[in-house]
Amino acid sequence: DTGVSQNPRHKITKRGQNVTFRCDPISEHNRLYWYRQTLGQGPEFLTYFQNEAQLEKSRLLSDRFSAERPKGSFSTLEIQRTEQGDSAMYLCASSPRLAALTDTQYFGPGTRLTVL
Amino acid sequence: RKEVEQDPGPFNVPEGATVAFNCTYSNSASQSFFWYRQDCRKEPKLLMSVYSSGNEDGRFTAQLNRASQYISLLIRDSKLSDSATYLCVVNPNTGGFKTIFGAGTRLFVKA
């Protein structure tokens, strides 16, 4: 399968714990996005990488959230001191082109986070 | 006002019906527009891009109205398999790469 993969698929944690999610984009895709989606809502933009550079972050991304894409390939999203409000589906998407302002985004299956 | 707004529905239609969804956006400088489809408990997938001249892909037609700041999606001859949530996506062209998703419109097609 050469699509976007995300791990783990499900994560249950206690409030106050740290969690880390991984996203492996489609090979050679330069662009990588993280989103958060809650029930009944569309995906909310969290952050964007172009290769290894994090070029944009949403105001939603508090200082408890950090994302990296160290070699321009896979990316991680860490949430520190989780809160119950962090419970959501975390989606990663990758996109192939740099020329277009916005190109087709290919989504991974998501990581569902439940904070108890 | 939300940056991208959609009627949440649900739209309940019989097979073979024609159904249309609208999506309004607030930033007149927005450049790129898309419709994505999301099945229950699945990830979003691109349905079609929306061009200024409008575009058609089989039973699906997308149109852009810049003057009124909305995009539309028309589905003709609805199939049971069209049942899904349809997400409107806009790049607000605020100098970055942020993309804004609407909350989605739910469609149920019944036999």
Q: What is the pLDDT of residues B48-101, one digit of tens each?
A: 999 888 899 999 999 999 999 999 999 999 999 999 999 999 988 776 778 899
Chain B contacts to A (CB-CB under 8 A):
4, 8, 31-32, 34, 42-46, 49, 87, 91, 93, 96-104
Distance CA B79, CA B64 (A): 24
Closest chain B residue by Cα to residue A57: B98
Residue A111 parent element (H or E): strand A111-115
Cross-chain Cβ contact A43/B44 below 8 Å: yes
Cross-chain Cβ contact A101/B87 below 8 Å: no
| pLDDT of A79 above 60 | yes
Return the half-sphere exposure (C-beta side, CA atoms, 13 A cut-off) of residue A84.
Answer: 1
Instruction: Supply the pLDDT for residue A2.
Output: 79
What is the tens place of the pLDDT at every residue in A20-77? 999 999 998 989 999 999 999 999 999 999 999 999 899 878 899 999 999 889 999 9
Contacts of residues A10-15 at CB distance under 8 Å and 24 or more positions apart, as own/partner, are A10/A111, A10/A112, A10/A114, A11/A111, A11/A112, A11/A113, A11/A114, A12/A113, A12/A114, A12/A116, A13/A82, A13/A113, A13/A114, A13/A115, A13/A116, A14/A82, A14/A115, A14/A116, A15/A82, A15/A83, A15/A84, A15/A115, A15/A116
Name which of A37, A40, A55, A51 is nearest A92 in CA terms.
Answer: A37
- Percent of chain A beyond pLDDT 90? 78
From B31's Cα to the closest Cα of chain A, the distance in A is 8
b/e code A1-32 from CB counts within 10 Å (16+ = b): eeebbbeeeebebeeeeebebebbbbeebebb
Is any Cβ of chain B less than 8 angstroms from the Cβ of A44? yes
Cross-chain Cβ contact B96/A91 below 8 Å: no
Closest chain A residue by Cα to residue B39: A109
What is the tens place of the pLDDT at every residue in B24-63? 999 998 888 999 999 999 999 999 999 888 899 999 999 9
- Using a CB-CB cut-off of 8 Å, the residues of chain A touching B87 are 42-43
| pLDDT of A12 above 60 | yes
